[in-house]
Amino acid sequence: MKKILGILLIAVIALGGYSLTKYNDLMRAEEDINSVWGNVESAYQRRADLIPNLVNTVKGQANFEKETLTAVIDARAKATAITLDPKTATEEDMAKFQEAQQGVNSSLSRLLVSVEKYPELKAHEAFLNLQAQLEGTENRINTERNNFNAAVKEYNKQVREMPTKIAAMIMGFKAKPQFKAEAGAEKAPTVNFN
């Protein structure tokens, strides 16, 4: 009987040690996600901070389309109102966040297309500087989103691999959502120079 209790005690200690190790691994992976998410938010915030300067620069053109500027301001307001906690985010939360950010992308695209009608604005140094900063920021956003997806992928692999999956379920670790490609991103845009 003592031998069986001894074996059970060793098994419980080994299982506890294994679970503790896996808990620490999962916590580190989750903290990596939180850190990378901070970079994503920072890149999006940089874009949001550039928008008022861009709008004010464009507003200087007396007959610039007011509805285009309003759309940019409204999209920015919606996007900055949505926050996401990567620890508790669901697929739905991530979709709402992405939708709000896509609204900013769309309104900025319309704004930049509208600028084509205003040659003096296109040549304005402040506008050109802001446009270059926005392009750089969009590249940063893409890079940070990719880094976030890589961190989530590593975490999700740990949560789903056996035997860690059992420890993750017991300790409440769940798979995290990633950024997804936007609808239609798989199709190349049609370019027509007519």
pLDDT digits over 94-108, tens only?
Answer: 999 999 999 999 999
Q: How far apart are CA 76 and CA 51, in angstroms?
A: 8
Could you tell me the pTM of the whole model? 0.79
Sorting pLDDT into bands at 50, 70 and 90, what band is 165?
A: confident
d(Cα 64, Cα 117) in Å, to the nearest integer?
9
* More confidently predicted of 131 and 189: 131
The interaxial angle of helices 91-115 and 125-160, nearest 10 deg, is 160
The confidence score (pLDDT) of residue 191 equals 37
Q: Give pLDDT tens digits for 10-34.
A: 776 766 666 667 888 888 999 999 9
